[in-house]
Amino acid sequence: MNGIEVLSRFGFHTDEEPVSIYPFSPVYRVARKSEDLIIKKTQGPIERAQRLMRYTSNLKENGINVVTPVQLNKENPQTMGDDTYVVYPFIKGTVYTGEANEIYLAGKLLGKIHSLSPKENVYQLEEYDVYDFSLDEVVESMKNIGKNAADNNFYIERMQLKQKLIHIISQQKDLKESGLPNVMTPHDYKANNLIYMPEPYLVDPDNALWIPRIFDLALALLLFHNELDEAPDTIFTPKQWQTFLSGYKEFVELTEIEHAYWKKAIEHIFLDEVMWLMDEYEEDWAKPAQRELFHSLIGLLLDTSYYRLD
Domain with residue 207: its CATH number is: 3.90.1200.10
Q: Looking at residues 9-32, what average pLDDT do you find?
A: 88
Same structural domain, 22 and 167:
no
Question: Which carries the bigger pLDDT value, residue 284 or residue 242?
Answer: 242
Same structural domain, 105 and 82:
no
The CATH number covering residue 46 comes to 3.30.200.20
Identity of the amino acid at 193 = N
Per-residue pLDDT band at 237 (split at 50, 70, 90): very high
Same structural domain, 77 and 119:
no
Same structural domain, 111 and 197:
yes
Per-residue pLDDT band at 105 (split at 50, 70, 90): very high
Task: Output the CA–CA distances (angstroms, integers) from residue 72 to 52, 89, 126, 155, 268, in the order listed.
Answer: 18, 11, 27, 52, 41
Same structural domain, 256 and 170:
yes
Per-residue pLDDT band at 46 (split at 50, 70, 90): very high
User: How high is the mean pLDDT of the chain?
Assistant: 95
**pTM of the entire predicted model:** 0.94
Same structural domain, 141 and 49:
no
Same structural domain, 49 and 106:
no
95 within some domain = no
Reply yes or no on whether the pLDDT at 112 is more than 90: yes
284 within some domain = yes
Same structural domain, 139 and 275:
yes
308 within some domain = no
Over residues 257-307, the pLDDT tens digits come to 999 999 999 999 999 999 999 998 888 899 999 999 999 999 999 999 999
Reply yes or no on whether the pLDDT at 107 is more than 80: yes
Among 37, 65, 89, residue at a domain's last position = 89
Same structural domain, 144 and 236:
yes
Contact yes or no for 57/111 (Cβ under 8 A): no
Same structural domain, 131 and 112:
yes
At 25 the pLDDT is 85
Same structural domain, 198 and 248:
yes
33 within some domain = yes
Same structural domain, 49 and 118:
no
Among 89, 118, 139, residue at a domain's last position = 89
128 within some domain = yes
Lowest mean pLDDT across 11-25, 111-125, 142-156, 162-176 = 11-25
> Coil, strand, or helix at residue 116?
coil
Per-residue pLDDT band at 23 (split at 50, 70, 90): confident
- Widest CA span of the chain, in angstroms? 58
Q: Are strands 209-212 and 182-185 parallel, antiparallel or unpaired?
A: antiparallel
Reply yes or no on whether the pLDDT at 231 is more than 80: yes
At 64 the pLDDT is 97
307 within some domain = no
Over residues 115-146, the pLDDT tens digits come to 999 999 999 999 999 999 999 999 999 999 99
- Which residues, in sequence order, are bridge partners of residue 27? 40
At 178 the pLDDT is 97
The structural domain count of the chain equals: 2
Range of the domain at 243: 100-302
Contact yes or no for 206/86 (Cβ under 8 A): yes
| Percent of the chain scoring above 90 in pLDDT | 88
239 within some domain = yes
Half-sphere CA count of 130, side-chain side, radius 13 A? 14
309 within some domain = no
CA 174/CA 168 separation, integer angstroms: 11
- Which residues, in sequence order, are bridge partners of residue 185? 209
- Which residues, in sequence order, are bridge partners of residue 184? 210
Task: Output the CA–CA distances (angstroms, integers) from residue 130 to 34, 138, 212, 250, 269, in the order listed.
Answer: 44, 14, 11, 30, 10
CA 241/CA 305 separation, integer angstroms: 12
